[in-house]
Structure 1
Amino acid sequence: MTGRCAKSLAEGGHAWDKLKEECGVFGIYGAGLDVARLTYYGLYALQHRGQESAGIAVADGRRIQLQKGMGLASEAIDLEGLSSLQGHIAIGHVRYSTTGSSHLVNAQPLVFRCSRGMIGLAHNGNLTNVNTLRSQLFSNGSVFQSSTDSEVIVNLIARYSQGSLIDSIMKTMIDIKGAYSLVIITEKSLIGVRDPHGFRPLCLGRRGDAYVLASESCALDTVGAELVRDVEPGEIIIIDENGLTSRKAFQSGNRAHCIFEYVYIARPDSRIDGFNVNKVRREMGRQLAREYRVDADIVIPVPDSGKTAAWGFALESGIPYEEGLMKNRYIGRTFIQPSQNNRDLGVKLKLNPVRDVLAGKRVVVVDDSIVRGTTSGKIVKLIRDSGAKEVHFLLSSPPIKKSCFYGIDTSNEEELIAAKKNVEEIRQYIGADGLHYLSLEGLLGVFGENQAVFCTACFNGDYPVDISDTNGSGKYVLE
């Protein structure tokens, strides 16, 4: 992968300082259903997980057809053209590139031919040993057309094609390290795979006789399916004409579900690994209020990422909740970065303060996280310029001090403000009267007895899977 942070800065990273989403995957097996259109709707529900490209692959028992393109699902996929994708099995993908640059050749699903026929694959996650695997495959004569780590998975599956497909997948799972949730399509089957630690989410749903796989349960709701359960870490789900079967490639070891799914990435209406995201975020806000006692007049969120936590803070503290910042929902992912002479315009295009709400008030502002600190400072200034007497900035997560190597683009460590400054220095940098991050103990406490099942590496550097092959970036470039 080429340097993602350079691109995100050029396209508005300073103007909207957030972690980048990862990817979303969707799959459906349903005889008699318009599976291509249902997949299209499923991708709409997962659009928050990636906006760079989208694609759908459909199988009819004899072949796999593919449609994909750059941009949002509505831009990348021709809705009218979906009528030509006939079949009873489909997979779909929305992408934000954590490994591999943003070009059509890297859009997924990837569809390929091997000795057993056509296979399609869509991947959410990031492999940590991709450099070593790619070098080994190159030396054995493998050919790469893209710069994604997903194509490494494809090559390994093809390399082990002497046995059954499930045996090939299991052997591939032994080789690859890191985070991966996969949906795989053949001419006659749909397969779901989740890595042994369960970094990235994957759930199973049912709609009548049809089965659905998706990154989040909100996509099941969209297509009228009911959540059956989460795919277990290390599990392979096989859906074909014989129904559903499960194989455990690995026994459940040390689980490491991404805690940032709950902080920011996932949709609030999703249920992931037994937890309702909305309820978790509300409890994060309540815990913030327990940890940071402040005399204030109103609590406002940074929309939309801080809304639920702000509501929880207001409930626990008794301070009234208000909407003090309005978000312009028509500023898309490609809006032009303002010139150096008008640096604040980027934030003003996205957020507009409600002066009548803010003027003369002591304001608590709740957001999910601070990455570089650039946007947070501009938001504090917006609120002050609207007449606020005090501005207290609260975060529903601990300071992000380390890069993620498991599928979320957290920038290089040297760009993370909390890796270089302490809390007081950050407070001064963003210009707030008070600054408080939710403690790691407080965040984990929200999950009760399940505190040990989460990856918290971005906060404390405790990486569950070795990252020595990543060269400190988790990325590689196809040369």
Structure 2
Amino acid sequence: MPAEIKGLNEECGLFGIWGEANAAQLTYDGLHSLQHRGQEGAGIVSNDQGQFYRHRGLGLLAEVFRDSETIHQLYGTSAIGHVRYATAGNHGVENIQPMLFSHDEVGEFALAHNGNLTNADTIRGELREKGVTFQATSDSELLGELVTTSDEDGFINQLKASLNHIHGGFAYLLMTPHMMVAALDPNGFRPLVVGKMPDGATVICSETCALDQVGASFVRDVEPGEIIIVTDEGMKIDHFTTDTHLALCSMEYIYFARPDSIIRGISVHEARKRMGALVARENPVKADVVLGVPNSSLSAAIGYAQESGIPYDMGMIKNQYVARTFIEPTQAKRDRGVSMKLSVVKSVVAGKDIVLVDDSIVRGTTSKYIVRLLKKAGAKSVHVRIASPALKFPCYYGIDIQTTKELIAANNTIPEICTQIEADSLAFLSVPGLIKAIGDLNDADNHGLCTAYFDGNYPTPLYDYQAGFDAEVARLGLYEGANTGD
């Protein structure tokens, strides 16, 4: 829905393997390590000499594959899998991936997608004019339909033409009876990596933590504009475009990726520690103890403590059996989720001046609840430090934001936010501090990161979303210099 400005929510996770006897089980194991990227649904498609088997469903991976026999019935030596959080389309099982398509040349093929297309409505209209009847409501289906209706000769040429027709953020895994194919958008918004199993099988997945999970060694990152083709003969690197400009989503380092992952040679954990150290340097405060909001903020809290010299302690405990609260569809459910998942170690907090380090503030309601929780436990003061810049702009490349009305920093000054969350002080990391903490991702003058959510500098045109974005900027009086890559 282009008129809506979307908000911070999880993306999706991809895992594929080619040439491994235990393909479905290893895909399950790899997806388990990517569960943080999507908790709404999961699916696996396996390939047994051209015969495809699929199982998918709503819920966590372990719920979808509750029956152990399900995995054993996914026969074959290759498989691709997906864990989903919806960035487009409704929450029905028809949108759970991988999706299956019928193709005149290759027969059946499967497709899994992480990201969000910025010209999805336009493409959907074009496909309808060709008589396409859609099987789902998400934009993930569109690439498959473009391939099947393409006038180009050969599957790979059809895929290349289709990839050049779509815009936005996308990482794809496709599987035909005779190949597995990976593709990454020209800006590389989403991470995608290639690995090798000890027996030579090829793995392609969203994060290196999934390679570690299945015992694969890292080979390389998939580069923007690339197509990686894996067959029984080996791996081939091709391109659907060479007009590329790296703009990796900075939220991968801030929040989305697991801390044990390495993205483009940079440890997520170490980057988050540097974010914490730099926000301490930019915004010092006197306090007795540093706490991190578990779990994604713990690395930044350690960095803050090391830089400031204020002791770090475990002042909050997370119930590991409660899902991440942002994924809940209503604010009431999010509030209930926070109360169920977080508790305070009173002996650490009582009578202390606290530095509370978090990775981001979206709506502010969770921050307010945590500040109240700490003060109820006896904290003398709570100074909130956010190890990222203030979220003021939506993302159109694969992070699901509701509207900017829900982004507290788009509608309030920092002192106003501080008052609303009932903190004693509040400060954010600067955009230059964020870039410095992560480090340059390429050798060009550009730092290789997308920071549009903080500064409004979008690296691409927004296509179907442009009118909605312009209306929001005008309504909120956001930065006049907001750039949409035109």
Q: Same fold (TM over 0.5)?
A: yes
Indicate the residue corresponding to 2:422 in structure 1.
431
User: 2 CA distance for matches of 1:157 and 1:345?
Assistant: 44
Write out per-residue CA displacement over residues 372-419 of structure 1, whole angstroms, 9 at most, x where no aligned residue: 101101111111111111110010110000111100113211110000
Please state how far the C-alpha of 1:62 moved relative to its aligned partner: 2.2
Residue 224 of structure 2 corresponds to residue 229 of structure 1: no
Taking the TM superposition and a 5 Å limit, the aligned residue runs for 1:75-224 are: 75-77=63-65, 78-116=67-105, 117-160=107-150, 162-208=152-198, 209-224=200-215
Q: Tell me by how many angstroms 1:251 deviates.
A: 1.5
Per-residue CA shift, 1:50-86, capped at 9, x if unaligned?
A: 0111000011222211111110111112432221211
Aligned-residue offset at 1:294: 1.1
Name 2:56's counterpart in structure 1: 68
Match of 1:454 among 449, 456, 464: 449
Superposition map of 1:458-477 within 5 A: 458-470=453-465, 472=468
Provide closer, same or farther for how the CA distance between residues 338 and 410 of structure 1 changes in structure 2, counting only shifts above 3 A: closer
CA distance in 1, matches of 2:111, 2:346: 50
1:405-461 residue CA offsets vs partner (Å, 9 max, x unmatched): 100113211110000001111011111111010000100112334462111111111
Please give the alpha-carbon distance, in whole angstroms, between the structure 1 residues aligned to 2:270 and 2:248.
17
C-alpha displacement of 1:3: 11
Contact 1:60 1:188 survives alignment (8 Å): no
CA 1:283–1:252 in 2, change beyond 3 Å: closer, same or farther? farther
Query: Which digits, 9 at most, give the CA deviation of each residue in 1:268-304, with x for residues without a partner?
Result: 0001112110110011111111111111100000111
* 1:363 Cα deviation after fit: 0.3
- State whether residues 99 and 112 of structure 2, in contact with CA within 8 Å, keep that contact through their aligned partners in structure 1: yes
2:50/2:176 contact within 8 Å kept? no
Alpha-carbon deviation of 1:4?
A: 9.9
Structure 2 distance, partners of 1:336, 1:463, is 28
- CA drift at 1:157: 0.9
1:197 and 1:252 in contact (8 A); partners too: no
Within 5 Å, give how 1:281-320 maps onto structure 2.
281-320=272-311
Corresponding residue of 1:260: 251
Q: Residue type matched to 2:447 in 1? A: A
User: Would the alpha carbon gap of residues 201 and 336 (structure 1) be closer, same or farther in structure 2, given more than 3 Å must change?
Assistant: closer
Question: How far apart are the structure 1 equivalents of 2:329 and 2:161?
Answer: 46
Tell me which amino acid in the other structure corresponds to 1:285: G
CA RMSD of aligned residues (A): 2.3
Partner of 2:41: 53
Distance 2:331 2:384 in 1: 27
Is contact 2:275-2:300 (8 Å) kept? yes
SS in 1 for 2:191: coil
Q: Equivalent residue for 1:43?
A: 31
SS of structure 2 residue aligned to 1:472 = helix
Residues of 2 paired with 1:159 and 1:137: CA distance? 8
Return the letter of the residue paired with 2:364.
G
Map of 1:238 onto structure 2: 229
Which digits, 9 at most, give the CA deviation of each residue in 1:149-200, with x for residues without a partner?
Answer: 0111111011126512111111011100001100000011111111111001
Q: Which amino acid aligns with 1:109?
A: P
Letter in 1 for 2:97: Q
What SS does structure 2 have at the residue aligned with 1:118? Answer: strand
Deviation at 1:253, TM superposition (A): 2.3
**Residue aligned with 2:291, SS:** strand
Q: State the distance in 2 between where 1:339 and 1:182 align.
A: 32
Measure how far apart 1:339 and its partner are.
11
**What are the within-5 Å matches in structure 2 for residues 1-20 of structure 1?**
19-20=8-9
Q: Distance in 2 between matches of 1:144 and 1:370?
A: 37
TM norm structure 2: 0.91
Which segments of 5 or more consecutive residues in structure 1 lack a partner in the other structure? 7-17, 475-479
Number of the residue aligned with 1:13: none
Contact 1:337 1:346 in 2 (8 A): no
SS at 1:294's partner residue? coil
CA, structure 1 residues 99+279, in 2 after alignment: closer, same or farther (shift >3 Å)? same
2:397 maps to 406
1 CA distance for matches of 2:256 and 2:126?
Answer: 34
Question: CA separation of 1:3/1:176 partners in 2, compared to 1, >3 Å: closer, same or farther?
Answer: closer
In structure 1, the residue corresponding to 2:390 is in which secondary structure?
coil
Percent identical pairs in the alignment equals: 45
Is 1:416 the counterpart of 2:404? The answer is: no
1:95–1:108 Cα contact (<8 Å) kept = yes
- When residues 83 and 375 of structure 1 are mapped into structure 2, their CA distance, relative to the original with a 3 A threshold, is same
SS at match of 1:452: coil
Is residue 5–residue 469 contact of structure 2 (8 Å, CA) maintained in 1? Answer: no
Q: Per-residue CA shift, 1:22-71, capped at 9, x if unaligned?
A: 0001100024x210000000110100000111000011222211111110
Q: Distance in 2 between matches of 1:372 and 1:54?
A: 28
Give the counterpart of 1:391 among 379, 382, 388: 382
Aligned residue pairs total 461
